[in-house]
Structure 1
Amino acid sequence: MGLFRTTLIGMLILAMASVASAGTLQDVQKDGFLKCGTHIENPGFSALDSNGERVGFDVDFMRAVAAAVDVKEIKFTPLTSKERLPALQSGEIDLLARTTTHTMSRDVKLGLDFTVTTLYDGQGMLVRKSLGITSAKELDGATIALQTGSTTELNISDYFRNNGISFTPVVFEKQADVRKAYDAGRADVHTTDISGLAAQRSLMENPDDHIILSEVISKEPLGPYVRQGDDQWADVVRWTIWLTIAAEEKGVTQANVEEMFANSKDPEVQRMLGKTGSLWADLGLDQGAPVRVIKKVGNYGEIFDRNLGPNTPLRMERGLNALWTNGGLMYAPPFR
């Protein structure tokens, strides 16, 4: 009887969680705002500008989703790595876009669904040029500053163990504290995703005194997460992101989207922008959603260049994040 009751209670909890997580699109539209989990401070991805506005690569995808569902307000909740997943699980936020890696355990154990990879990244290591280090394999005995509650800890442990070398971790909960400790000389190495290293280096006292080593020690496909149990909401997020990728491939930009909507003869562009067919209505959105998205944030290439590209403090090249037509991995399913 005890086992039966325990099983029944477990089933009821799962059922309640499924019901609670259903209808996110309707809840967001009824409330008139989108609740998003984001970085506290990570330049290029999510940080406050001089006007106190939150800007960045991850933020632009949040703004894209808000435009798609036609709400004007986003309520940002700055979260540490340790806080981010519980905040989504609990319903505190509707969408987590905080340089979060797609992993199997997060997919199958935590009641979360990954949506789309917005950035193909990998973990690296930042060191001072004055050390004369050219390879991570020269770091035996190094002190390494890192953030707890992320895949970073496991990856660095695996790398050092696999190469038969040791290190001493210097662990912090907030990325800003990791950077400050490393910049103050409390650690020999700063490790996180390479994009994150570029972002944090831009905030250091003398950014040019530091180099990112050539080794990439992990695969870090980054992108937004939603709760499991609400397929419609997951599809809204996925197809909004895929829209920005397809728009770049088709030459649709923030500046020309209305002209492309009016005049493009490409059948896929017509479907993708909502001029023909019922794809966006089938998703539960109005037919004006895709044009609003591109007018708000532009296509994927514009989002990347504005926040992370060579002319920003992060100075990142597209690399794996180029379109598939340019040798990269960025690829949207057909709008059909």
Structure 2
Amino acid sequence: MAVVRERRQLNLRLPLPSEHRSRFPPPLPPSAPAPAAPSSTAISAADLEKLQVLGHGNGGTVYKVRHKQTSAVYALKVVHGDSDPAVRRQILREASILRRTDSPHVIKCHGVFDLPGGDIAFCMQYMDMGTLETLLRNGVVFTESLLSKLCRQILTGLEYLHSHKIIHRDLKPSNILVDQKMEIKISDFGVSKILQRTLDPCNSYVGTCAYMSPERFDPDSFGSKSYDVYAGDIWSLGLTLLELYVGHFPYLAPGQRPDWATLMCAICFGEPPALPEGTSGDFRSFVECCLQKDSSKRWSATQLLAHPFVSGVDLQPSA
């Protein structure tokens, strides 16, 4: 049951578009070199044959494609580069992040190139089981044992990103890719931000508000001048684990459609959701470490990797 707290004035003003844009780092030019593909030849759009549509969303379409010469299979994310300069900056920011990352638990990019009409394409590593959201919709049961294995991989990816001053800011089941070996890759950096020398609070209203931490809704009440800017990703991880375990978004009843006001009130005024009875003490403790409303009390990715819920997981492939 949610605890009624003393009323306080929240600073919930949505930033103006001009305020959003001024926070963006300068984009890389579209022609900047991208990481090379595993083959000795750089990938171009003409080299790829579309096989099927994998999904739609975030202003674009993802295709399963095959390299005509090598028969290697990739995912091609085509983002509509419309006339809005802010949209193009967001696309190029994602390209900038993808070019900087090299982790076994962060999706690999093999090339970024322009398409006719202004669209931008990302040639990505292909994950044959889709996303964790896809598995959840298809009835996969996420046991504690499975979640501990998945969680350790996500944390390893987050630790890498945070050590390179990258905040994801939109971590959720639909942005975590998985293959048949249940190996995961963190993906979709369209709303992430590479921190510059000044570590600003990243309290702008981007990403999916359902997974936003309390300090992103109301930094004056739940943050501080020195709060950990990476802590929002840890909050999102806790909600993601809960959603996978209980089968629905934990702040809402099954089938309920979220809206911004309902979510804001639940996250800022209510108590964090908890695991149902019957779960292990380690699992409960881990989720509690993620879902501390006071961001300064939330554990970091490095600290969580030492938590008993995930510390004993062996990520080495079996012989």
TM-score tier (shorter): under 0.3
Greater relative contact order (CA < 8 Å, ≥ 6 in sequence): 1
- Structure that is richer in helix per residue: 1
Q: TM-score, normalised by structure 1?
A: 0.22
Q: TM-score, normalised by structure 2?
A: 0.23
